[in-house]
Amino acid sequence: MSSTSSSVLRAEHIWLDGKLVKWDEGSVHVMTHALHYGLGVFEGIRAYKTHDGRLAVFRLREHIRRLLDSAHIIMLHIPYTEDQLVEATLELLRQQKHLFANGAYLRPVAFMGDGAMGLGAVNPTRVAVTAWDWGAYLGDKGIREGIRAKVSSFTRMHVNVNMVRGKITGQYVNSILAKREAVLAGYDEAILLDISGFVAEASGENIFMVNKKGVIKTPPLSSPILDGITRDTVLKLLRDSGRVVDEVTFTRDALYICNEIFFTGTAAEITPVREVDNRQVGEGKPGPIGRFVQESYFKVVRGQDDRYADWLTYV
């Protein structure tokens, strides 16, 4: 076994351009076009150990479809079909189930490879799928107790500046700058506003809030946000439970005076926010709606709710 750090277990192999290769052989040339210009797309996917001891990938096809859609948006040709990429992901896990019996984080990525340089170059696309053991992105304590967030001085990109529906590698510089600003200021995560000053999303998560009247709100897809698969999952869980969710814009001060805030994302899963800009949110701890969403979400990904069995692809 080897790890990316002393505590993070990584796969022994990766899937690269159609075949499994050893982790240390999964390299690309320094003249790779995407390294210089950021033209690539990626996904974050989780596989969970289910209640019966099996391993299942959550919403695998939806993630692969979004990867292909992101590539289509930036005119990056991926030389594999949806079925081939689904099978590649499952093959990677099947070959290494001894490492990931308790779950894994999966990272499909496609990017323009080496060859010609310059902004007008069109080189062959490289495609890889990697896996490692990645716990809660914002920490287990954050999931239990909530995190502190800061409204960033960096603005979420306008829809005419970049393609906000695509999960595009180069666009994440915007998120990295916001995240670093927040962490250096002593917070856990950043919240970005759009150019009109309305709440968009966190640096790597979608955002939900519950106001003092108990109304659940999340920014609409007409905002410059990623169409998150975990966001879609939470909308489905809430609405199936009979709760109403308004997909509407709202301001940062609406966050200051609401009862609950929580982030959603594959890496962060369901993470409550207990404080924004040094203002306590609600009672300063996870609220009832957030706890319901957490409990429901983890039951689904662990195969304990048959209503959503089709969201799981067993390895």
Phi/psi at 54 (nearest 5 deg)? -85, 175
The pLDDT value recorded for residue 145 is 93
Could you tell me if 115 and 259 lie in one domain? no
Phi/psi at 130 (nearest 5 deg)? -120, 165
Is the separation of the CB atoms in 305 and 299 below 8 Å?
yes
Could you tell me if 84 and 185 lie in one domain? no
The residue annotated as part of the active site, out of 150, 167, 179, 217, is 167
Could you tell me if 160 and 118 lie in one domain? no
Residue 315 lies in a domain: no
> Is the backbone of residue 169 left (phi > 0), alpha (psi -120 to 50) or beta?
alpha
Could you tell me if 279 and 159 lie in one domain? yes
Residue 160 lies in a domain: yes
CB under 8 Å to 252, separation ≥6 — which residues? 151, 191, 193, 197, 199, 276, 277
Q: Count structural domains, the chain.
A: 2
The pLDDT value recorded for residue 8 is 73
Is the separation of the CB atoms in 276 and 256 below 8 Å?
yes
Q: For residue 225, give the CATH number of its domain.
A: 3.20.10.10
Asked if 167 is an active-site residue, the reply is yes
Could you tell me if 148 and 278 lie in one domain? yes
Query: Block means of pLDDT (10 residues each) for the chain, length 315 residues?
Result: 53 95 94 97 97 97 98 97 98 92 96 96 97 88 95 95 94 97 98 98 98 97 97 98 98 98 97 98 96 98 97 97
Residue 198 lies in a domain: yes
Could you tell me if 163 and 293 lie in one domain? yes
Q: Which of 78, 104, 132 is the last residue of a domain?
A: 132
Q: For residue 115, give the CATH number of its domain.
A: 3.30.470.10
Closest CA to 220 of 233, 234, 201: 201
Residue 84 lies in a domain: yes
The pLDDT value recorded for residue 7 is 56
The pLDDT value recorded for residue 135 is 83
Could you tell me if 146 and 32 lie in one domain? no
Residue 306 lies in a domain: no
Separation in Å, CA 76 to CA 69, 79, 123: 10, 10, 9
Could you tell me if 59 and 101 lie in one domain? yes
Q: Which of 66, 98, 132 is the last residue of a domain?
A: 132
Could you tell me if 114 and 153 lie in one domain? no
CB under 8 Å to 307, separation ≥6 — which residues? 240
DSSP of 36-84: HH--EEE--EEEEE-TTS-EEEETHHHHHHHHHHHHHHTT---SS-HHH
End-to-end CA distance of the chain: 21
Could you tell me if 168 and 123 lie in one domain? no
Could you tell me if 256 and 173 lie in one domain? yes
The pLDDT value recorded for residue 3 is 36
Domain span at residue 144 reads 140-301
Question: What gap in Å lies between CA 167 and CA 163, rounded to an integer?
Answer: 9
DSSP state of 102: T
Structure tokens at 304: 């304990």
DSSP state of 306: G
